[in-house]
Each structure stands twice: as structure tokens, then as C-alpha cells.
Amino acid sequence: MKYGYFDDRNREYVITQPDTPLPWINYLGCQAYFGIISNTAGGYSFYRDARLRRLTRYRYNNAPFDLGGRYVYLRDTESGQFWSPSWQPTRREFENYSCRHGMGYTVISSTANGIEAHTRYFVPLDENLEVWQLTVTNRRQTKARISAFSSIEFCLWDAQDDATNFQRNFSTGQVEVEEGVIYHKTEYRERRDHFAYFACSEPLAGFDTQRDAFLGRYRGWDSPAAVEAGQLTNSIAHGWAPIGAHQVTLDLKPGETRQIVFLLGYHENPVNQKFDPPGSQTINKALVKPTIAKYLDPLEADAAFERLRQYWDGLLGIFQVNTPDIHTNRMVNIWNAYQCMATFNMSRSASFYESGIGRGLGFRDSNQDLLGFVHMAPARARERILDLAATQLPTGGAYHQYQPLTKRGNNDIGGGFNDDPHWLIVGVAAYLKETGDWGILDEPVPFENEPGSEQPLYEHLRRSFQYTLDRLGPHGLPLIGRADWNDCLNLNCFSDTPGQSFQTTTSKDGKVAESVFIAGLFVLAAKELAAIAARRNLNADAKQCLAEAAKMARVVYEHGWDGEWFVRAYDDFGKPIGSKVCDEGKIFIESQGICIMAGIGLQDGKASQALESVNKHLATRHGIVLQQPAYSKYYLHLGEISSYPPGYKENAGIFCHNNPWIIIAETMVGNGDRAFDYYTRINPSAREKIGHLHRCEPYVFAQMIAGKDAPTHGEAKNSWLTGTAAWTYYAATQWIMGIRAEYDGLRIDPVIPAKWKGFTVTRRFRGNTYLIEVKNPKGKQRGVKRLLVDGKDIATNLLPVCPSPPEPIQVEAVLEG
Ligand code: BGC
Ligand code: NOJ
């Protein structure tokens, strides 16, 4: 069953009924000011950091799931009936409803009682504010007198404190109201120099800033007393719960339309210009007023919206594809690329499954996210790489997370996840391949943000590499530390205390448990580092990297090959995990994916054999599960993985993130049919038709789909913020379509289903635009060996970097087998 449809031309997903199985969300903003918005206008906003600079309040794990947001109410003065045109929170019957989620904006439309309303929500580029454009049309035969109300609930900035510290916070809330603009200024009197504002383009019939005055005692957002009464009370919040609400009266002739613009924004004043007059406690509004005036003008708001559209035209235009498969096309051309932007911006911090309080930006996560993002905004990728590297420790280790506002490593989680450092190499390699900006390697970057400790970025990569060599275990495999990519394989934790964090508890000295996954990742990263060193003429470094990679690959053959697949790890007792000798968890996906991506087993058939084992033991029609058999009970020596009931999350769920590793591995052994089949199994667009089972948004990947051991096999969870976004984008574009950025040019090496007759791609790369046509007349899965470039045969499938000609370059590639 479907709950909407894709409008590919407008790059929108149109939801046609408000009660989707779960809230289906979108992101507003893509630079510094962000919002989350659901299909019923639920969600919240923040500036840079969802934890430390939260603008509006949101109560997670609520009933209903999604409550609290950017709610508008309409009230018919004659009948006294009122409703919210976004359906929530009043949930009245509608004559029609739609929610269009687009690139950085959402439009919610409905008609009730003959009154049609559209609200367009978006964040203008380069501004720290969001615009709500509410258009109301009278579809009745008679005149209508309507009151329109806006509403938001302010958060007292620190979302964690806001949700817990009531003894203080019920006394600190402060607002000002001036010329119809509501200013939220809690703590502005002391150490904050920022405030929020909520403005309206029309003359007000009233406002409210105190929640109780607006809602009334014992009432909720579904029936605010002041809306029901048809008159806001002009309340001024002192402590308790500051909100913002405006009231505008509209007299509408039949067929008449009126537009109201609401702005919710964030502003920082220079410390010495906080107050006006100086010495008073009144906010100096002089610096923000021009911005407010500008965007309250509907024409300016429209122009800003147009700029946003053009911005996305530009970003998405960098890679456009036309294949025989509509699901591939819309994911690659629109939604998967868009999701990559969201994961780049948010890492895993703020979604409807990540509370914005729990997590900062992950070191490994953010580095991997670059794979899907780097071609769209290389300058921002560069900045991110330098920020991440600056949190690296002198040992080469890494803080597992950092806070985006402070850009400092997050001490709560600390480090010791022994895979982390290598992802920096992978991220930098992706950046270099895309941009050719070799200068980044010379950028001085501190360790642990310590001034004076700066070393060239290249030295950071060297230390990442060395980190593993300094931490080898009894078999010569890398020690796992707190965990590797699989945060839930906690081999040094041994926790029997409820509530203890599996990721930060260590009961063992960590000198025994080893990771075959890290071994594979090390080989992959060492080969990248060798390629980088060679291009800088650091031949001794390059040689060392290759020698260590080869040595590690030998160790993997010796101790990491189980006969039919790669072992996963060794536990604290030196016993294998992910081996046929285990009772449960005999085979894991991660080591198959990473070892093959690192090139291990490609020469002697082991890679193909491992992939057959994946197909036999792990593949389901909903995707590939993480391991089998699922752990049926809690194992003290394995940790969190066995804390999940079978079939969920890391315990044999379909952890979508590493499905693309297998997809890539399949392309490496030339199996285009199977690679594409696996891709389609988790492709949300292809799953749209089973929306009642899948339940999450059909336009973005979810982190997990319940595995075959779960009663809800096929149900997705944790949509949006997942490494799946970058990895599937990378797998589809660079490995299935095979349009692959390399250090010295653009490789054209598709590995596609035999039945595809061909496809075309437009790719902007290093200043050139390539119009690539791939032909497959003989029904092959792989085999481009030479290219026709503007009609000339270049006898290789690597497009060399060349000066940008004024015209796009025509490239023709034929699969010859
Ligand atoms: C989840 C992992 C996640 C980790 C982060 C665990 O509970 O299962 O997917 O990486 O938390 O700390
Ligand atoms: C989600 C985390 O964000 C990621 O870092 C980790 O690799 C996976 N879970 C697997 O545990």
C-alpha cells in the first residue's frame, strides 16, 4: 500500500494522507539554521547544534509519536469551528490534504470547511531563519471571516537542560514583544548574546507568549483555549513556558486569496551591542530588523524560494543519470543525493530517531558521509575534513564524536574505537579523487584542537595508519578496542550492570580481542595512503604502506579465512567470532564487504566464494542481514550485539549501511545482476509499494530493516541519518554505473544488469561536464575497455583530467565483455 507518490519532475514526494504509518519527515535548511518538519508540521528548529542551540521545543517519544511543531490554526468566526491545516494537532476531517516534501522545503495543503490553505516552509540560503508562507483561499460561495493563528513553543536553548532542569527553567523564561515581533530572550541578560524571533507580515489581532494563556489550563495543542475563544490574550511570559503565537483576521470574498508570512529566526548580537539603549536590559534590535523586514515581504520570500530551487538544481546537476530503472534514477538524481546532504549536515544527531541530545558528529560517520557528498560541495567537505582531523589525538586515535558548535571532541564518549582513524584516510582519499586539491595535505591541523600542535594533514593520515600497527593482537590482527564499525560488538566490555554504556565500559585490558574488519579496513586505507604518498613522491612511505597492507592481507588469509567466508573477529578468549565453529553468529556481513573492497581474495576466488556464502546465509528479499544465526541470548563477552532481540539492529537486522559494501564487492567480481538486485531490495522507492510493511519514508534509506528472525521482517526503522545514504549513493554511482572519481581522472567502468541496454550520465568533474553514454548491445554485465571521447578512441576507460573546454565532452562507452 502507498501513502503518496513521487513527483519526479518537481523533485517532490507527495504524501496524500496525513496518518502515514510513521511521521514522514523532511529537513529545512542546509547550512547553519536547520529544522525538522513532518508531514503534519511536527518538528523543531535549531542553530548549528541540536543540543546546545535549540530554538523550539520538541517532546520525543510522545503519544502520538509526533506532537509539537510549527502549527497554524484557522478559525471560522461565524461558526466558531477551528482546525489546523496540517491536520495535527487538531486532526479534523479534511476535504483534501497533501504534503509535498521537496529539496529543503515542505508545503502542506488542505481544504476544510471550504477554506483552502497552503503553508510553505523553507529556510532561505545564507540566512538563519525559516519562512512560513501561509496562503488562505475562500472556496465557499459566500464571504468568510477567518482568524489565522501561528504557534511555536520556544526551547530554552540547551535541549538537554530544557528537558530536565525545571526548578531553574520555570523561572528564567523571558520575552519582548515589539511591533508585533515576539523576541525570545531567555538568558540574554547574562551570558547569551543570541535571541530568537517570531514575526508576522500582517497587522495583529493579538498575540500570546505564555503557554498557559494560549492553551488554557489542562489543555493541549489540539484545543488551545485562546484559539477556541477566537482571541489571543496578549500575554507576556515571565518564566514557565514561553511560546510565540500571532493572530491575524482575514475577511475573504468568495474565491479570494490572502497570504501571511511568518518568520522564525535566530540572531546573534555583538557582545558590546547587546542592549538598546546601552545599559538597559532591552534587546538591541537594530541589526536584525532589516532581515525581518526583508523576508516578511512575500515577493522577497518568493525570490528566496526561487534561489533555493536554483541552488538544488546546481547541486543535483553535478550527477544526473538516466537508466532503465526508475527507482535508481529518482534515488540517484534526487533523493539519495538529498539524503547525503542531510547526513553530512546532521551526522547522526537530529532526526525523529536521534534526539539531537544524544550524539554529536561521529568521526567515522562524518568521514564516511563524505563519500556521498564530496562532489556536491567540495569546499564544505574540505572544511569538515580539517575539523575532523583537528579532533584527532596525537596517537592517531580519535574522539569518537565532536560537537558541531564547539568543534571539540566529545569527552563523554571519548575514543578507543580502533577503526575510527582509518575513516579519515578514506574521507580524504574521496576528497582528493573528486577535487585533485592536493594542497589540503599541507594544511596545518592541530591534534586535539591544541594550538601549537599543528602538523600537515598528511601527517594525520600517517598517524592513522600507524595507530593500527601500534595495536596488533596475538594473531597479528588489529586489536578491536571499544568497538570497530559495529558499535555493538563490544569484546572488551563484559557488562552485567543494567544501564551501563556498552560503548564506554571496558572491563578488559584490550590486549586480546581482534578485528578482521579493521584488518580489511587497514588494507583498504593503507592502499589509499600509498597512492597518495606516491603522488607526492614520498616513495618510501608508499612502499611501507603497500608492504604493511600486503602483510596484513597475509594475516587475514592465515587467521581471518574460515574456509567459505571471512571470520569477523577474535574475542577476549582468543576464540573466533563469525566462524563455522560458533554456535550462533557464524557468518557476518562486515568482514566479507570490507575485505573484498580492500581487494583481498579477488585473485584466488575467495572473494567470490565469500559472496556466495553471503548469498546463501545472509540475503533475504528485504536485504542482507548482518549475521546469522542471530544471537538468541545475551553473551557477556559479546556485548550490545546480543542485547537486541533476534532480527533487530546489529543482531541480524538488515543493517542497510553495509549492504552497499556487498553491492560494491559484487561489482568487483563483475556480478552486475546480483549487485543491482541487492541494491533494489533496500531501495526505498522500490519498496514504496510495500509501504504498510516498510512504514518509514519511501524517499530515504533507513538504517535498519527488520531481519528474518524478527516478527516484523521487512519493517524499517531509523530513517534518514545513516551511513546507508552515502554508501548506497557511492555504490550506485561509482560502482554499478561505474562513473568513478580516481586520483588521475574519471573511470568509466560500469557493472550493470545484463538486461540493461545502456544508460546515460551527466557528470561535472574537475571543471568539465561529461555527457556519457554507455551502450550494452550484447547484454554484458561489465567490460568497458576504451572510450570514444568526442568521437576519438582513447584506448582506456579512464578519462584523464584535462583543461575545461567550453562545451560538454561527449563520451561513449561500450560494454564488450
Ligand atoms: C546502536 C548502534 C549505534 C550505537 C551508537 C547502539 O545502541 O545499536 O547502531 O552505533 O548505539 O552509540
Ligand atoms: C550507527 C553508528 O552511527 C555507526 O557509527 C556504526 O558504525 C553503526 N551504527 C553500526 O554499529
| Beta carbons within 10 angstroms of residue 602's beta carbon | 16
Smallest CA-to-CA distance from 716 within 744, 685, 746, 742 is with 685
- If you ran DSSP here, which 8-state letter would residue 438 be given? G
Peptide bond into 298 cis (omega under 30): no
Of ligand 1's atoms, which has the minimum distance to the CA of residue 501? 12
Sign of CA dihedral 509, 510, 511, 513: positive
Minimum-distance ligand to the CA of 642?
1
What is the rounded distance in angstroms from the CA atom of residue 661 to the CA atom of residue 591? 10
pLDDT score of 413 more than 90: no
Minimum-distance ligand to the CA of 724?
2
**Any residues with CB less than 8 A from the CB of 604 and at least 6 apart, and which?**
none
Residue 526 phi/psi, 5° resolution?
-65, -40
Minimum-distance ligand to the CA of 502?
1
Catalytic residues: 487
pLDDT score of 767 more than 90: yes
- On average, the pLDDT of the chain sits at 97
Minimum-distance ligand to the CA of 501?
1
Taking the whole predicted model, whether its pTM rises above 0.95 is answered as yes
- pLDDT category at 805 given cuts 50, 70, 90 is confident
Residue 174 phi/psi, 5° resolution?
-140, 145
pLDDT score of 521 more than 80: yes
| Residue 12 Cβ < 6 Å to ligand 1 | no
Of ligand 2's atoms, which has the minimum distance to the CA of residue 486? 11
Instruction: Give the amino acid at 615.
Output: N
Of ligand 2's atoms, which has the minimum distance to the CA of residue 488? 11
Of ligand 1's atoms, which has the minimum distance to the CA of residue 503? 12
What is the rounded distance in angstroms from the CA atom of residue 713 to the CA atom of residue 706? 5
| Start-to-end C-alpha separation, the chain | 40
- Among 355, 487, 503, the mutation site with the greatest number of ligand 2 atoms within 8 A of its Cβ is 487
Residue list, ligand 2 pocket, CB within 6 Å: 348, 362, 364-365, 485-488, 650
CA–centroid distance, residue 388 to ligand 2 (Å): 17
- pLDDT category at 47 given cuts 50, 70, 90 is very high
List C-alpha distances in Å: 11 to 263, 333, 350, 726.
Answer: 25, 9, 23, 19
CA–centroid distance, residue 369 to ligand 2 (Å): 12
Residue 520 phi/psi, 5° resolution?
-65, -45
| Residue 650 Cβ < 6 Å to ligand 1 | yes
What is the rounded distance in angstroms from the CA atom of residue 674 to the CA atom of residue 579? 24
CA–centroid distance, residue 364 to ligand 2 (Å): 8
Kindly write down the DSSP assignment for every residue of 482-538, as one continuous string. T-SSSTT--TTT---STT--TTT---S-SSS-EEHHHHHHHHHHHHHHHHHHHHTT-
What pLDDT, on a 0 to 100 scale, did the predictor assign at position 625?
99
Find the angle CA(325)-CA(331)-CA(333) to the nearest 5 degrees. Answer: 95
* Helix 420-435 and helix 516-535, axial crossing angle in degrees, nearest 10: 40
Say if residues 52 and 405 touch (Cβ distance below 8 Å). Answer: yes
CA–centroid distance, residue 655 to ligand 2 (Å): 9
- Among 354, 503, 651, the mutation site with the greatest number of ligand 1 atoms within 8 A of its Cβ is 503
What is the rounded distance in angstroms from the CA atom of residue 86 to the CA atom of residue 109? 7
- pLDDT category at 806 given cuts 50, 70, 90 is confident
- If you ran DSSP here, which 8-state letter would residue 333 be given? I
pLDDT score of 57 more than 80: yes
Say if residues 761 and 746 touch (Cβ distance below 8 Å). Answer: no
Written as nine digits, the cell of 39 is 508531514
- pLDDT category at 458 given cuts 50, 70, 90 is very high
CA–centroid distance, residue 464 to ligand 2 (Å): 19
What pLDDT, on a 0 to 100 scale, did the predictor assign at position 280?
97
pLDDT score of 337 more than 80: yes
- Among 412, 490, 650, the mutation site with the greatest number of ligand 1 atoms within 8 A of its Cβ is 650
CA–centroid distance, residue 487 to ligand 1 (Å): 6
* Helix 378-390 and helix 336-346, axial crossing angle in degrees, nearest 10: 30
What is the rounded distance in angstroms from the CA atom of residue 113 to the CA atom of residue 134? 17
What pLDDT, on a 0 to 100 scale, did the predictor assign at position 524?
99
Identify the residue whose cell numbers are 530551487: 309
What pLDDT, on a 0 to 100 scale, did the predictor assign at position 411?
83
Identify the residue whose cell numbers are 540566512: 127
| Residue 347 Cβ < 6 Å to ligand 1 | no
What pLDDT, on a 0 to 100 scale, did the predictor assign at position 414?
87
| Beta carbons within 10 angstroms of residue 571's beta carbon | 21
- pLDDT category at 291 given cuts 50, 70, 90 is very high
pLDDT tens-digit map of 546-603: 999 999 999 999 999 999 999 999 999 999 999 999 999 999 999 999 999 999 999 9
Written as nine digits, the cell of 691 is 509501504
- If you ran DSSP here, which 8-state letter would residue 291 be given? H
pLDDT score of 360 more than 90: no
| Residue 488 Cβ < 6 Å to ligand 1 | yes
pLDDT score of 817 more than 90: no
CA-proximal residue: ligand 2, atom 7 (nearest): 485
- pLDDT category at 361 given cuts 50, 70, 90 is confident
**Any residues with CB less than 8 A from the CB of 305 and at least 6 apart, and which?**
105, 120, 122, 124, 131, 133
CA–centroid distance, residue 400 to ligand 2 (Å): 11
pLDDT score of 380 more than 90: yes
| Beta carbons within 10 angstroms of residue 226's beta carbon | 24
pLDDT score of 404 more than 80: no
Of ligand 1's atoms, which has the minimum distance to the CA of residue 655? 9
Minimum-distance ligand to the CA of 639?
1
- pLDDT category at 72 given cuts 50, 70, 90 is very high
CA-proximal residue: ligand 2, atom 5 (nearest): 365
Say if residues 503 and 487 touch (Cβ distance below 8 Å). Answer: yes
| Beta carbons within 10 angstroms of residue 137's beta carbon | 19
CA–centroid distance, residue 365 to ligand 2 (Å): 7
What is the rounded distance in angstroms from the CA atom of residue 716 to the CA atom of residue 556? 34
Written as nine digits, the cell of 292 is 525581518
pLDDT score of 803 more than 90: no
Say if residues 564 and 571 touch (Cβ distance below 8 Å). Answer: no
CA-proximal residue: ligand 1, atom 3 (nearest): 487
pLDDT score of 489 more than 80: yes
Written as nine digits, the cell of 213 is 494563556
Smallest CA-to-CA distance from 511 within 471, 551, 484, 482 is with 471
The region of weakest confidence among 11-15, 152-156, 398-402, 532-536 is: 398-402
Of ligand 2's atoms, which has the minimum distance to the CA of residue 485? 7
Say if residues 358 and 322 touch (Cβ distance below 8 Å). Answer: no
Peptide bond into 456 cis (omega under 30): no
Percent of all residues in the chain with a pLDDT value above 70, rounded to a whole number: 100
